[in-house]
Amino acid sequence: MTRIAFTKMHGIGNDFVLIDNRLLGIKLSTKDIINLSNRHTGIGFDQLLLLSQTNEDGCDATYQFFNPDGSQAEQCGNGQRCLSLYLHQKNPNQTSFRLSGMAGIVSSEILPNKQVKVNMGSMKSCLPKEINKQRCFELNFGNPHLVTCVNDVKACDLESMNKVYTNQYPKGINFEIVQILSPNKINIRVHERGTGETQACGSGACAAAYALIQAGELNTKVTVVLPGGELMVEYNQEKNIIYLTGPAQQVFTGEIIL
């Protein structure tokens, strides 16, 4: 049996278990991750955040994100903010961070108001599509997203819509439904690949805002309202960079035996 120390965190309701593996050096199997994700017999999370030592120059650590089914996710904006807060709490004098992982090197900073701003990089692609006779956008942000607009996100059966809209993606895709409230504000719900509906999704917020900015329907600074709270997405057109700003919070720490 192995005792594993963990930190439970969340970003506007998108909840995570963070394991700092830089000194532990443990190897988690798919079964281990599934057991940890169980909200009745494990700890429970939308995603597992794993920090490891990095060989990249100028980076503080390497990140990995795992879904409750044990599959690996390439990117997670809310997870990036939680990782930054965790590292800041370990070293309060440090307020900027660089982490390397599947989506590349991600930089972030702790703002004076304790919000965390993450440089999410550039959208790799954004393609218009028609699915179910509705306008959609297929995006690659290191992880895949499918975005479509609706009149009222709260009135939608997201689970049923996800099955209809994403059945042509055998490897799965993150699915966002978007309600435009104004040129500076949208309301979204997200069905995450390998997880299901979550209270928030940082990369999903970025994908939804970016798609509609490119369509000319939103300004370049957008408040994104999710069931768990609000995030700010900013698109720097000159640098072609997307920034995500929002809160992160530590909930508790503990140990679990595997």
SS3 content of the chain, % helix, strand, coil (to 5): 20, 45, 35
201 is annotated as an active-site residue: yes
d(CA 162, CA 156): 11
Cα separation of 49 and 82, whole Å?
Answer: 9
β-bridge partners, 104? 101
Cβ-contact 158, 195 below 8 angstroms: no
Catalytic residue among 82, 149, 201, 206: 201
Residues 51, 22: contact at Cβ < 8 Å?
Answer: yes
> Of 59, 76, 136, 149, which one is the catalytic site residue?
76
Query: How far is residue 47's CA from residue 72's CA, in Å, rounded to a whole number?
Result: 9
Q: How far apart are CA 71 and CA 93, in angstroms?
A: 35
Active site residue 206: no
Distance CA 110, CA 211 (A): 27
CB-CB neighbours of 10 under 10 Å = 22
Residues marked active site are found at 76, 201
